[in-house]
Amino acid sequence: MSVTLVAEAPAVQLTTEEFMSGVFEVQHPLIACHLTRLRDKTTPPAEFRQLVNRLASLLAYEATKDLRIEKVSVQTPLTKTDGSQLAQRIGLIPILRAGLGMIDPVLELIPTAEVWHLGLYRDEETAQPIKYYSKLPPERPVDVALILDPMLATGGSAVDALTTLRDWGVPHVKLLSLIAAEEGVKRVECEFPNSQIYVCQIDPDLNDRKFIVPGLGDAGDRIFNTIGH
């Protein structure tokens, strides 16, 4: 099998609006429609999970457009032909627990990806992230890491995750969130200017409890049907 490196992957059809350097708000009619249903407080958990899956797929499709590929020769039932395969190790890093809701759709797109978990929760009094779990291998890091977290609010959990991946030695990191607040986006951009953020929509404010406004509430509770527990 012959292998030849290709400079970049083919262009995709989604478009993005650059919010600031390295931050991309994805523009697509399906994203707008699915996001509206996701925000609706009457949307039941089963539908909410489906919407998270759809949005994560569209977001990942856009965020992976610059992955490196290499040519391979394959034998079809009729003849040999050239094709492509990924030339990089890809790692999916869901931030527990809400990030778990984004794994399956991204794995459907990148079945060869590795999945490594980070457990972070927010102290409700200080709004600071508390790390309680980290599962990263001691050997060489992946080439590209996709951090999966539905909400980017204050940016505390994202910065903690980015710090962990930097210490692991990952050269390229992308953060995928469904909804972000301007405050969190600016913090990540300031502390990790070389990272990339892909988000479906950037909301303007955080309330006094550090929830995104208008937002969609607690993504983890709505995904796993634990509201009020």
Q: What local confidence, expressed as pLDDT, does residue 123 receive?
A: 62
**For each of the chain's 229 residues, which pLDDT tens digit applies?**
444 344 444 443 455 555 456 899 999 999 999 999 999 999 999 999 999 999 999 999 999 999 999 999 999 999 999 999 999 999 999 998 889 999 999 999 999 999 998 876 666 666 566 676 677 877 889 999 999 999 999 999 899 999 999 989 999 999 999 999 999 999 999 999 989 999 999 999 999 989 999 999 999 899 998 976 5
Contacts 24+ apart (CB under 8 A), 48-53: 48/222, 48/223, 49/101, 49/223, 52/101, 52/102, 52/150, 52/178, 52/219, 52/223, 53/101, 53/102, 53/104, 53/105
Torsion-angle region of 190 (φ positive above 0: left; ψ -120 to 50: alpha; else: beta)? alpha
**Other C-beta atoms lying within 10 Å of the C-beta of residue 35:** 19
Residues 138 and 140: their CA atoms lie apart, in Å, by: 7
Q: pLDDT at position 140, please? A: 85
pLDDT at 16: 53
pLDDT at 125: 65
The pLDDT score that the predictor gives to residue 147 is 96
Determine the Cα–Cα distance for residues 20 and 229; give it in Å rounded to an integer: 38
Domains annotated on the chain, with CATH: 3-224 (3.40.50.2020)
What is this structure's pTM?
Answer: 0.85
